[in-house]
Structure 1
Amino acid sequence: MKATDQYFDGIADKFVRNIYGTTKGKLRHLLLLESMQPYLESPGRRIIEIGGGTGIMTRELAQQGHHVTLTDASEDILKLAGEFLHDLPQVDIVHLPLQQIHTLDSYDLIVCHAVLEWLAEPFEALRSITEKMPAGSQLSLSFFNRDAALFTNAVYGNFDYIARGLKVKNQVRLNPTNALRPADVIEFVGRNDLKVLARSGIRCFHDYMKNKPDTDEVFEQLLTLERQYRSEEPFCWMGKYFHLMLEKT
């Protein structure tokens, strides 16, 4: 059966709870926002967030004084985004799959976080973005790290899952279908006129912890550690997500 892109219609509420109602979601959001921050210092940037979901990141960007267009392929997700962002006139919400975005000429920053791993052809989607980016524009790209996923499953003894190439027998809708290796993505963007400005691992330690943070104090201690090592080797390569800041040459 041919692989298809994965959207979240019908499970939007569950998606929000599983992703953003946990320490892993909170950490991912904070670390991504901080990794982007050096590229957000100029006010009034024109930003498009591709696959922006319920608008958690869009809200942060808009509150910093930027004009943001939020797109997503899921109508259910965008209903939640509309409620969450209703008080921000500098935000536009558009129901649009990544592949149907015809031009990016009017944006100087493209945000695409945790989208590629849900697509049947992630590299084709990434090629579509890079080809439409104007020279000098930037791309904030994060994706589910296949190397980290393999390591995590080895630690937990999921050897059959690893032997199947990290493919489950029965697909769970909240389980990414196409994790990517950071080395492969970096090699790909280098061949497609994108320069790497910065790289970092997102959640280099959290997902390997036996006991996840259960108090604000422990969470802050972990956050400090994640901040310290996210851009340092070898730890950056083990982030459950990988983040790249890229510029079109």
Structure 2
Amino acid sequence: MHPTYELTDAGDRYFDGLVDKFSRSLYQAPRGELRLAMLDYLLPQMLQLDQQPVLDVGGGLGQQAAWFAERQHPVTMTEPSLDMLTYARHWHREAKALPCEAMAYVHAPLQDLRQQAPGPWPLITCHAVLEWLGDPRSAIAHLTSLLAPGGQLSLMVFNRDALRFSNAVKGNLEKALSDRLEGKGKRQRLTPISPVTHAEVVEWGAENNLEVASVAGIRVFQDYLRQPPTSDKERETLLALEKKYCQQDPHWRLGRYLLYTLIKSETSQ
């Protein structure tokens, strides 16, 4: 019997009990390695970075928080899963040797951050979070309320259009045609419950006076390969291919994840 999981009252999926699965399946596997490599490549291009404070919302196992802390940003990492937050705190201290003063930790869901970490923040990261929420649209409003005027929101979402294309490639034609793409969030499988489209991000951003400054696709090609790379040379070639086309139309639109920089209007409060 596989364990089952319950969504929160808000319809969100948390990941208590899944630290090992996340670590093994996402970050010790080629897809996770490529995702982190692409973020390492894209974030310095897409963000104005000057060691400003960062709020990392739904920081998971702490990789993105560590990336900013290693670049001398004071980081506050928030995470609703206590298991994930405990792992991240230990990993930051033991494996990454980050000084205690570089990191702060908040055990809270996104919806509670107006009380727990109100800011306003010059830079917020929210990567691979919206697709696990029952109401991703309202999450944009919550994030905007935490952002300083002129502040940057680095948002990464699971791409619904890529999920449809992937299902078609795998032969799940009826599923793709009927657009039954959402996961249920009840088991260990990590199919998001609320995959998001580019049009939705643009619309929700405009509702909150957020301008899309830049967008890129993460894992544009990798998930559709018939044969995954088997050598370091092939992996290097794939990474070069991903870097070359991640911001070129139409290729970025089929990235498994879409990465955005959204800027809050200077006149917004």
| TM-score category, normalised to shorter length | over 0.9
Q: Does 2:135 correspond to 1:121?
A: yes
The sequence identity of aligned pairs, in percent, is 37
2:61 match: 54
From 183, 190, 195, the equivalent of 2:211 is 195
Q: Which residue of 2 aligns with 1:99?
A: 111
In 2, Cα distance between equivalents of 1:217 and 1:104: 46
Residue equivalent to 2:221 = 205
Change (3 A) 1:191 1:211: same
TM-score normalized by the length of structure 1:
0.93
* Compared CA separation, residues 170 and 84, structure 1 to 2 (3 A): closer
The letter of the residue matching 2:222 is H
Q: What is aligned with 1:25?
A: 32
Aligned-pair CA distance for 1:214: 2.3
Matched AA of 1:165: R
- 8 Å CA contact 2:140, 2:204 repeated in 1: no
Alignment of 1:164-203 (within 5 A): 165-168=180-183, 171-173=186-188, 174-203=190-219
CA distance in 1, matches of 2:10, 2:150: 34
Shift in Å at residue 126 of structure 1?
Answer: 1.5
Q: Which amino acid aligns with 2:164?
A: L
Deviation of residue 100 (structure 1)? 0.5
State how 1:26-175 maps to structure 2 within 5 Å: 26-38=33-45, 39-42=47-50, 44-86=51-93, 87-88=97-98, 89=100, 90-102=102-114, 104-162=118-176, 163=178, 165-168=180-183, 171-173=186-188, 174-175=190-191
Q: Secondary structure at the match of 1:135?
A: strand
**CA 1:165/1:216 → structure 2, altered by over 3 Å: closer, same or farther?**
same
Report the equivalent of 1:13.
Answer: 20
Segments of structure 1 that go 5 or more residues without pairing to the other structure are none
Aligned letter for 2:134? A
* Displacement of 1:106: 4.0
Q: In structure 2, how many angstroms separate the alpha carbons of the residues matched to 1:45 and 1:16? A: 28
In the TM superposition, residue 211 of structure 1 has moved relative to its aligned partner by 1.3
Match of 2:4 in 1: none
SS of alignment partner, residue 136 of structure 1: strand
Question: How does the TM-score come out when normalised to structure 2?
Answer: 0.87
Structure 1 position 3, deviation (Å): 7.1
